[in-house]
C-alpha cells in the first residue's frame, strides 16, 4: 500500500472515530498557549496543566513576566522537566515580545521561531491552534506514529516528516491531523509497546503488517 492510499484510509478512520481532536493543554489566549507549549517540551501536558494556573495568574502578560527574574519563575515551574532552562527561555521570550512585538504573540511562524525557546514544532503549534494557520507540528508522537503506520516512508527527521505529511494530507486537515497523531501516539501507539490489539488503524498499519500480523493479540 502506497503512502497516498494509506493516508486516505487513515484520515477516513480518524474522521469517523475521532471527529473532535484538539490540544490537551489548558490556556485562554495565545500568550498562555505559547508558555504552555514551551513548558511541554519533554514533559507531559498533564504535568504542565498542573502548574500553569498559578503561573498564569502570577504572570498574566508578557510585560509582567518580562519584569520578573529567572529565580522567581523557576519556583513556579520547578516540578516540570528542565525548569532552569525553561525559566531562562520564558523570561527572554517575554522580554522579546515586549521589545519587538509590542507585547503581542506574533502569528507568523518565522517570527515565532525568533523567540527564545521556540523551535519549528512550537511555532507550528502556536500558529495553528491560536491563529488558525494550517500547520503540522511534528513532535515525538507525530514522528513515531507517522513512521510506524507508514505515512512517511520512515523519514529520519521531524522536518522530513512534516514535508511528507503536508504533501499527502489535505491542507484543511493539517492542524487536525497533528492532534490525531499526537493523541493516537499518547494513548494507543505508545513508544515502548504499542497497543496494537486496541488500534483501529492496524488494518492500514505498516508496523502491524510487518511485526504483529498473525499474532494472537
Sign of the alpha-carbon torsion through 132, 138, 139, 141: positive
Sign of the alpha-carbon torsion through 105, 48, 50, 64: negative
Is 121 known to be catalytic? yes
Annotated catalytic residue, options 139, 171, 172, 213: 139
Contact 72, 94 (CB under 8 A): no
Give the torsion through C-alpha atoms of 23, 40, 101, 174, to 10 deg: -40
Q: Is 196 annotated as a binding residue?
A: yes
Q: Is 43 annotated as a binding residue?
A: no
Q: Which residues of 70-93 are buried (b: 16+ CB within 10 A; e: fewer)?
A: beebbebbeebeebeebbbbbbeb
Residues 6+ apart with CB under 8 A from 26: 36, 49, 52, 53
Annotated catalytic residue, options 45, 88, 121, 171: 121
Is 213 known to be catalytic? no
Q: Is 7 annotated as a binding residue?
A: no
Residues serving a catalytic function are: 121, 139
Q: Binding site for [4Fe-4S] cluster: what residues are annotated?
A: 189, 196, 199, 205
Amino acid at each position: 500500500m502506497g503512502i497516498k492510499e494509506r493516508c486516505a484510509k487513515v484520515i477516513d478512520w480518524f474522521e469517523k472515530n475521532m471527529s473532535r481532536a484538539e490540544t490537551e493543554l489548558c490556556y485562554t489566549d495565545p500568550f498562555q498557549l505559547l508558555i504552555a507549549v514551551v513548558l511541554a517540551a519533554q514533559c507531559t501536558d498533564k504535568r504542565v496543566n498542573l502548574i500553569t494556573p498559578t503561573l498564569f495568574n502570577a504572570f498574566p502578560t508578557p510585560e509582567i513576566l518580562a519584569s520578573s527574574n529567572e529565580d522567581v519563575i523557576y519556583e513556579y515551574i520547578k516540578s516540570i522537566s528542565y525548569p532552569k532552562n525553561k525559566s531562562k527561555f520564558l523570561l527572554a521570550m517575554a522580554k522579546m515580545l515586549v521589545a519587538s512585538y509590542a507585547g503581542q504573540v506574533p502569528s507568523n511562524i518565522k517570527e515565532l521561531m525568533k523567540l527564545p525557546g521556540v523551535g519549528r514544532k512550537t511555532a507550528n503549534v502556536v500558529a495553528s491552534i491560536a491563529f488558525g494557520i494550517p500547520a503540522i507540528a511534528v513532535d515525538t508522537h507525530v514522528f513515531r506514529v507517522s513512521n510506524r503506520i507508514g505515512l512517511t516512508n520512515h523519514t529520519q527527521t521531524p522536518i522530513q516528516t512534516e514535508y511528507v505529511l503536508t504533501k499527502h494530507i489535505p491542507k484543511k486537515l493539517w492542524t487536525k491531523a497533528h492532534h490525531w497523531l499526537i493523541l493516537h501516539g499518547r494513548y494507543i501507539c505508545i513508544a515502548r509497546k504499542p497497543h496494537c490489539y486496541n488500534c483501529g488503524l492496524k488494518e492500514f498499519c505498516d508496523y502491524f503488517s510487518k511485526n504483529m500480523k498473525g499474532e494472537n493479540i
